[in-house]
Structure 1
């Protein structure tokens, strides 16, 4: 009987792991903005153009690469705050230095990020995360 329970537990564990396996393999890492990173955009819709054609899914990793002291990045609480560059709507923490960290975005929703210094010059990005 103990052997049957152990076998059941092992099979159940394997089934659960396999259910999550395809999603795990599909997770991707991105440097926000591509080769230019998080910098002054060459055109106003640079970051919007960077997201075009990409399918972001739950668990993807996003790296913000920027010059410390020149830029920062913070998530804002709404599309309205994003559209108006409302720096008082930042959801802590505000990332002010690059230390090799990244963000996993786990919830299927649209995330809004801005540079509080240069948002009005186009340094903002909306990242639409899908289930899979």
Structure 2
């Protein structure tokens, strides 16, 4: 039994993941005066490789400033406009932690278990529906897809930023998805926002969706040779950390046989 435990621990040690997270500073409130950024940062784990903005050493002025956290340690950021820092408390202090890189994976394709989310489920994409409640408790991962279903011509879908979401600001018309069966693949982690740009559907009908997408973790490739049905089912049913544990369990079954 002792040797079995060592095998499990060794396998799990080899599949330690590294995650990169996109932090939108202030979330929907963004970077502004009179906001408690100390409270916003509290409880968040900032890691080397994560991204946020703006910079402490030179002015970033695009309004969508992205900084990659490249080194561990304490980091400080302020707004340099007028008295925004001194009087408006527009400043952010965080501690960045060293990330743990995964061990190199064996050659060969590794499956990722992606989920298709029908936005609104049977209700689809429509006005006067609580999409905040629909998204609550769901785990959206990189590689998953969102499907917006509606009668073609009655609605559309725009991907927007946090301000566009809050104020129902629609982008140029050529950015709209309009098929009535619009499929969006979630390719990067971070906060994502979507609205309907038809009439007042967003502003008055609350037809908008905000989600947080998490980094996915591909399970380790299985060794060549036969594997039990139980291990196969465990792999198919798992995702995120569950996928990695199931992979380790599958390898253990082969070793014990």
TM bin (shorter chain): 0.7 to 0.9
Are residues 1:130 and 2:224 paired? Answer: no
Q: Distance in 2 between matches of 1:48 and 1:86?
A: 18
Q: Distance in 2 between matches of 1:126 and 1:55?
A: 13
CA shift for structure 1 position 69: 1.3
Cα RMSD (Å): 2.0
Are residues 1:82 and 2:165 paired? Answer: yes
Deviations 1:65-98 (A, max 9, x none): 011111111101x2111100011x3595311122
Listed as ranges, the matches of 1:67-78 within 5 Å are 67-76=151-160, 78=161
Out of 188, 197, 203, the position equivalent to 1:116 is 197
The aligned residue for residue 178 of structure 2 is: 96
The aligned residue for residue 3 of structure 1 is: none
Deviations 1:16-64 (A, max 9, x none): x3xx43xx12x1001111110001224xxx0000000100000001111
Out of 13, 35, 51, the position equivalent to 2:122 is 35
Which structure is larger by alpha-carbon Rg, 1 or 2? 2
> Which one scores higher on RCO, CA 8 angstroms, separation ≥ 6?
1
TM-score, reference length from structure 1:
0.74
Q: Distance in 2 between matches of 1:36 and 1:94?
A: 21
Q: Which has the higher helix share?
A: 1
Change (3 A) 1:30 1:41: same
Q: Distance in 2 between matches of 1:38 and 1:59?
A: 21
**Structure 2, gaps ≥5 residues long:** 1-104, 217-257
Asked whether the 8 Å contact 2:149–2:182 carries over to 1, the reply is no
TM-score, reference length from structure 2:
0.40
Q: Which runs of 4+ in 1 moved over 3 A?
A: 89-92
Are residues 1:105 and 2:186 paired? Answer: yes
The aligned residue for residue 64 of structure 1 is: 148
Are residues 1:13 and 2:107 paired? Answer: yes
Asked whether the 8 Å contact 1:41–1:47 carries over to 2, the reply is no
